[in-house]
Amino acid sequence: SQTIHQWPATLVQPVGSPLSLECTVEGTSNPNLYWYRQAAGRGLQLLFYSVGIGQISSEVPQNLSASRPQDRQFILSSKKLLLSDSGFYLCAWSLGLAAYNEQFFGPGTRLTVL
């Protein structure tokens, strides 16, 4: 069966510090991978998605970036965190490109920027 892991589970970082959140998927090959952010009082916002190694599409311009160094690894990064980067970050995966393919979400990382 497939599983998705995210770490760390929680993170408290000062403004201006770097960020690296990691997501890995097990039990499948060539998944589509996604990063979402859930800010307090708001819905989920897609940040990045990837359909293959080294292929990253950005949905919202900001000071975050994403990379996919391996087939089942997706990393969210920032060189300098802002207060507005606080939120709950969710990684997800799916197979196929059809509209009916559901996305499976990881447990999330709660980031607090102080």
Partner 1 sequence: GDSVTQMEGPVTLSEEAFLTINCTYTATGYPSLFWYVQYPGEGLQLLLKATKADDKGSNKGFEATYRKETTSFHLEKGSVQVSDSAVYFCALMNSGGSNYKLTFGKGTLLTVNP
Q: Is 84 helix (H, G, I), strand (E, B) or coil?
A: helix
For position 53 contacting partner 1 by CB under 8 A, the verdict is: no
Q: Round to whole Å and give the CA distance between 80 and 102.
A: 33
6-45 residues near partner 1, rule: CB under 8 A = 6, 32, 34, 42-45
Considering the rule CB under 8 A, would residue 61 count as an interface residue with partner 1? no
Q: How many C-beta atoms surround the C-beta of residue 19 within 10 A?
A: 21
Q: How far apart are CA 64 and CA 113, in angstroms?
A: 14
Interface with partner 1, residue 83, by CB under 8 A: no
Q: How far is the CB of 80 from partner 1 (least distance, A)?
A: 26
User: Can you give the binding site for partner 1, defined by CB under 8 A?
Assistant: 6, 32, 34, 42-46, 49, 51, 57, 59, 90, 92, 97-108
